[in-house]
Amino acid sequence: MSELSRVVALAELMRRQKTELEALEEQLAIAKKAMLKTEREDLPQLMAEVGLSELKLEDGTVISIKEEVDAKISEANRASAMGWLADHGFGGIIKTEVSVMFGAGSHDDALHLVESLNGQGYSGAQMAETVHPSTLKAFVKEQLAAGTALPFDLLGIFPYSKAILKEKK
| pLDDT tens digit at each of 169 positions of the chain | 799 999 999 999 999 999 999 999 999 999 999 999 999 999 999 999 999 999 999 999 999 999 999 999 999 999 999 999 999 999 999 998 877 777 888 888 877 877 887 788 776 556 678 999 999 999 999 999 999 999 999 999 999 999 999 998 7
Q: What is the DSSP letter of 94?
A: -
User: What is 97-135 written as a DSSP string?
Assistant: E------TT-HHHHHHHHHHHHHTT----S-EEE--HHH
Gap between the Cα atoms of 72 and 132, Å rounded: 9
Q: What's the pLDDT score for residue 123?
A: 62
Q: Is 37 left (phi over 0), alpha (psi -120 to 50) or beta?
A: alpha
Residues near 84 by Cβ (< 8 Å), separated by ≥ 6? 151, 154, 155
What is the layout of strands, in order, in the sheet containing 157-166?
54-56, 62-71, 157-166
pTM for the complete prediction? 0.70
Cβ contacts of 81-87, under 8 Å, gap ≥ 24 = 81/131, 81/151, 81/154, 81/155, 82/129, 82/131, 84/151, 84/154, 84/155, 85/131
Q: Where are the domains of the chain?
A: 1-52
What pLDDT is stored for residue 143 in this prediction? 96
pLDDT at position 162:
97
